């Protein structure tokens, strides 16, 4: 067996860890801690600064996941994959669309509102980003589980 399959899987795992792990930390750790300690004039610029650093890394993860995923799927497996990979691609496409929406709309609007110290508008944009990140986090966990348990599930479906 060549080194290519493990290399592609390692790149795939790296993308998964950065994106899903980053969303998990932002949603369950950073956000509640910031909300409990800081008022809007401190919390909203802090969250914007966090997104300024995290969101470019999400683009890196998306490139890693799609690049390595298509390499595994089309290049190494020759398109012959279990149904779990098709499900993975579908959910990943939805997650990519949701992130693209966050990037171009509420994230930009949050930046403008923070620059103008318009805290009610900034709070509204942050609330929308929080809901969309929670959605992508749920979808991401499902996708990672599909990746981990998928080969066994697809094999079970073939022999059922
Ligand atoms: C958010 C997006 C994604 C996540 C979180 C994710 C996660 C995972 C995980 C955890 C694995 C198992 C890795 C292992 O066995 O060590 C995996 C495998 C795989 N993924 Fe993804 N993936 C995503 C997107 C994609 C995309 C877009 C494609 C294809 C274009 C893809 C194609 C594959 C393939 C072909 C495998 C190997 C499946 C097998 O061993 O049967 N993935 N993925």
Measuring from atom 19 of ligand 1, which residue has the nearest CA? 147
pLDDT at residue number 151? 81
Instruction: Grade residue 141 by pLDDT with cuts at 50, 70 and 90.
Output: very high
pLDDT at 156 over 90: no
Ligand 1: residues whose CB is within 6 Å? 9, 12-13, 16, 20, 65-66, 69-70, 72-73, 77, 81-82, 85, 88-89, 92, 95, 140, 143-144, 147-148, 150-151
pTM of the model: 0.93
pLDDT at 11 over 80: yes
8 C-alpha to ligand 1 centroid (Å): 10
Is residue 147 a contact partner of residue 74, using CB atoms and an 8 Å limit? no
pLDDT at 154 over 80: no
pLDDT at residue number 82? 87
């Amino acid at each position: 067996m060549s080194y290519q399959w493990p290399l592609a899987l390692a790149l795939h795992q790296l993308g998964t860890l950065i994106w899903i792990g980053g969303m998990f930390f932002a949603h369950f750790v950073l956000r509640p801690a910031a909300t409990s300690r800081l008022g809007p004039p401190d919390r909203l610029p802090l969250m914007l600064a966090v997104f300024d650093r995290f969101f470019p890394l999400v683009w890196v993860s998306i490139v890693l996941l799609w690049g390595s995923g298509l390499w595994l799927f089309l290049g190494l497996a020759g398109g012959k994959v279990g149904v779990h990979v098709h499900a993975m691609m579908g959910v990943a496409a939805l997650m990519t669309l949701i992130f693209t929406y966050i990037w171009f709309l509420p994230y930009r609007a949050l930046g403008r509102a923070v620059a103008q110290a318009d805290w009610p508008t900034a709070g509204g944009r942050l609330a929308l980003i929080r809901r969309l990140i929670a959605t992508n986090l749920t979808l991401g966990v499902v996708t990672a589980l599909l990746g981990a348990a998928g080969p066994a599930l697809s094999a079970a479906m073939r022999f059922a």
